[in-house]
Amino acid sequence: MIELQNLTKSYRLSNGERRYIFRDLNFCFPEGTNIGLIGRNGAGKSTLMRLIGGIDTPDRGRIVTDKRISWPVGLSGGLQGSLTGRDGVKFVCRIYGMTRDEMLEKVRFVQDFAEIGDYFDQPVKSYSAGMRARLNFGLSWAFDFDYYLMDEVGAVGDARFKQKSRQLMDERIGQSNVILVSHAMPEIARLCNVVVLVNDGQAILYEDVDEGIRAYQETAGVPQAKRPQPGMGNAPKSSIVPGTGGQAGPIAGKHQERATQSRQDTQI
């Protein structure tokens, strides 16, 4: 259970004015729900995610939870250019207070998952963007959390890696939950049980995901035609997998397109 009590968050504009992202928010996310955070660019979705993750602090109010919440999945903070990938993984293990054996196990998991070969023991600055992403995803999935924070995470890497991480993600979502920030409504519809729409200084909880998505599309001015089909990515999970190799199929391709699109969005 994650409970938000009187949560208020604002930030100061450069002209000294205060802008509220939301005021006195009171939510209780029931046990085992996957939470989608939606809203237009700059509405404060990511801030809400960071608050829930304990990375950012609210002006007032608090978040009560007994769940283990991850760092944002795919985050590269633990890695440092002059250090090796292995060093980065060990560092994150250490801040979680792991014993030597646990650490070795995580290192092995990341090494296997990332499949970057000898580069694992080379300085991170020599990595390509794809290699870095592989390492970061491996690192996130190596740890067991109750909630994984995902901010606009599309699939990364080549087709085969994309499938692998998607498969792992679906597997994990069976056991854990996600808090997902995304502009990709089909993904929200596929993964989430509740959505929170952040808009115009307030945040509204929708227990009915479709209703939330509809409300979002009204605020974003998106024509209704783009309604997602519930369960679109859910059923054919097995049908994606067999197609391995270069032939990734249309779903993976589409997924990538969405991912790049939303990445551009976030940078603005």
Residue pair 78/210 in contact (Cβ under 8 Å)? The answer is no
**Cβ 59 to another protein, closest distance in Å?**
9
Q: Which is nearer to another protein, 57 or 239 (CB)?
A: 57
Sites of contact with another protein (CB under 8 A): 11, 53-57, 66, 68-69, 71-72, 75-78, 80, 82-83, 87, 91-92, 94-97, 123, 144, 146, 175-176
**Cβ 121 to another protein, closest distance in Å?**
12
Joined together, the tokens standing for residue 194 give 């509740």
Q: 3-state class of 260 per DSSP?
A: helix
Q: Which is nearer to another protein, 69 or 240 (CB)?
A: 69
Q: Which is nearer to another protein, 44 or 78 (CB)?
A: 78
**Cβ 41 to another protein, closest distance in Å?**
16
**Cβ 221 to another protein, closest distance in Å?**
28
Q: Which residue has 């929200």 as its token pair? A: 188
**Cβ 206 to another protein, closest distance in Å?**
25
Beta strand 18-29 with 2-12 is antiparallel
Q: Which is nearer to another protein, 20 or 91 (CB)?
A: 91
Give the Cα separation of 183 and 36 in Å (integer): 10
Beta-carbon count within 10 A of 215 CB:
17
Give the Cα separation of 175 and 197 in Å (integer): 25
Q: Which is nearer to another protein, 93 or 197 (CB)?
A: 93
Residue pair 25/170 in contact (Cβ under 8 Å)? The answer is no
Give the Cα separation of 28 and 205 in Å (integer): 9
